[in-house]
Structure 1
Amino acid sequence: MIELRNVTKAYKTPNGLKVVLDDITCTFGERESVGVLGKNGAGKSTLLRMLGGAELPDAGEVLRHGRVSWPIGFSGGFAPSLTGAENCRFAARIYDADVDEVVEKTRAFAEIGDYFDMPVRTYSSGMKARLAFGLSMAIDFDIYLVDEVTAVGDKRFQKKCRDAFRAREARSSVIIVSHQMKTIREYCTRCAVLWGGKLNFYDDLDEAQRIYEKVAA
């Protein structure tokens, strides 16, 4: 579970102050799949970074109950000079997970062969995406954060990713930010709309879509 208590976040832009969250209090509950809809630039990624602890609010507090993932499939955090295996070991130690288990699970899932033991700087973008998703699935989190659901690899590998993600979703909380209602409908049972610094929640996905289409027009 993640709680936001009177959270405010804003940025200075050439056009003035951009308010992403304006005194928001809400709860992302245990074992529920919640989508956050917002236009590009609404602040979805900023919200996700605050939920994960990578960014701090200007005011208020974010309380995390349980182990929270980094954004699923995010490959920007890899050290390019380290091998895939070394990056996995590093992540496993940070999250106090079994190092050998994480390495072997990621190796098997990513299916990148000998490249797993080569520096990440030698990887193609597709290989990095496979490594990132495999590592995300190799560590058990209570809450999974997803910044847009992206397809990785061929159709067979994409199905493998979906099946693995569904298995995690069945026993954990999932928070997905997206600008596509189709993604939210596929994975979520509850939805929030981020607009103008406000974050409003809806149990009815149809209502969430109507509101989003209205504010996004």
Structure 2
Amino acid sequence: MIHLQNLCKTYTLNGRHKVVADNITATFPSGVSVALLGRNGAGKSSLLRMISGAMLPSSGKILSTGTISWPVGFAGSFNSELTGEQNCRFVARVYGIDTDELLYFVEDFAELGDHFRLPVRTYSSGMRSRLAFGLSMAIPFDTYLVDEISAVGDAAFKAKSNHVFKKRLANAGAIVVAHSMSTLRTTCQSGAVLEQGKLAFYADIEDAIAAHLDNMRKIKNTAS
């Protein structure tokens, strides 16, 4: 369970204020995959970063009864001078995971071959993404945060990635940001719509999608 309590977040740039969280109080249930919907710039990625602990709110609290992942597939925190293996060893120690089991899983999953033991700075962006996704899946979190992640590689690798992710969700929940409604329908049971700093939770994914599409129509009509 993840509980947002009076959560506020405001950005200030050149004297202008942008509110992405306006006194939000909401609960994401345990073991449920929730689609996080909202127009571009509504603050979905910022909300995920606050839930992950990578960003502090302006005020309010985020309470949790379980472990929460970093955004799945995020490769920005790798030490580029260390090898893929060394980066994985570091993460295993931080999370208290059996190092040998984690290394075996990531090396097998990412399919990097000899590059797994070369510095990450030598990796292509696709190789970094495969390493990051494999590392994300190697740790059994209670809630996975997913921000527009799409598996890289050929069809077989994408199918393997989807299989592993669905297997993880059999025993965990998720908060998922994606523009594809079909992806959200197949991944999530519930939804939450973020609009002008307010968050509305819907137990049924179809109700959340309907509310989001209605918001988008209103914005389009206002602009025209």
Q: CA deviation at 1:178?
A: 2.5
2:208 maps to 208
Gaps of 5+ in 1: none
Does the residue aligned with 1:40 lie in a helix, a strand or coil? coil
1:20 maps to 20
* Residues 1:45 and 2:45 aligned together: yes
Does the residue aligned with 1:100 lie in a helix, a strand or coil? helix
Mapped partners of 1:40, 1:203: distance in 2: 23
| Greater alpha carbon shift after TM alignment, 111-120 vs 90-99 | 90-99
Q: Which amino acid is 1:129 matched to? A: S
Does the residue aligned with 2:10 lie in a helix, a strand or coil? strand
TM-score normalised by length of structure 1: 0.96
Q: CA deviation at 1:143?
A: 1.0
Is the 1:38–1:179 contact (alpha carbons within 8 Å) kept by the matching residues of 2? no
Mapped partners of 2:190, 2:107: distance in 1: 34
Does the residue aligned with 1:126 lie in a helix, a strand or coil? helix
1:34 maps to 34
Does the residue aligned with 2:82 lie in a helix, a strand or coil? coil
Mapped partners of 1:16, 1:197: distance in 2: 16
Q: CA deviation at 1:14?
A: 4.3
Mapped partners of 2:26, 2:201: distance in 1: 9
2:9 maps to 9
| Greater alpha carbon shift after TM alignment, 203-212 vs 110-119 | 203-212
Give CA deviations for 1:146-199 in whole Å, capped at 9, x if unaligned: 001313111000000000000000001111123332221120000111110011
Q: CA deviation at 1:67?
A: 1.4
1:194 maps to 194
Is the 2:130–2:151 contact (alpha carbons within 8 Å) kept by the matching residues of 1? no
2:153 maps to 153
Give CA deviations for 1:62-98 in whole Å, capped at 9, x if unaligned: 0122111111111111110000000001111111111
Mapped partners of 1:131, 1:139: distance in 2: 13
After TM superposition, list the pairs within 5 Å mapping 1:4-153 onto structure 2.
4-14=4-14, 16-153=16-153
Q: Which amino acid is 1:131 matched to? A: L
Mapped partners of 2:125, 2:205: distance in 1: 34
Q: CA deviation at 1:7?
A: 0.5
Mapped partners of 1:182, 1:82: distance in 2: 38
| Greater alpha carbon shift after TM alignment, 141-150 vs 113-122 | 141-150
Is the 1:38–1:178 contact (alpha carbons within 8 Å) kept by the matching residues of 2? no
Mapped partners of 2:94, 2:38: distance in 1: 31
1:162 maps to 162
Is the 1:37–1:181 contact (alpha carbons within 8 Å) kept by the matching residues of 2? no
CA separation of 1:190 and 1:15: change in aligned 2, threshold 3 A: farther
Mapped partners of 1:179, 1:156: distance in 2: 23
* Number of aligned residue pairs: 217
Q: Which amino acid is 1:56 matched to? A: L
| Greater alpha carbon shift after TM alignment, 187-196 vs 91-100 | 91-100
TM-score normalised by length of structure 2: 0.93
User: Percent of counterpart pairs with the same letter?
Assistant: 52
Mapped partners of 2:135, 2:90: distance in 1: 11
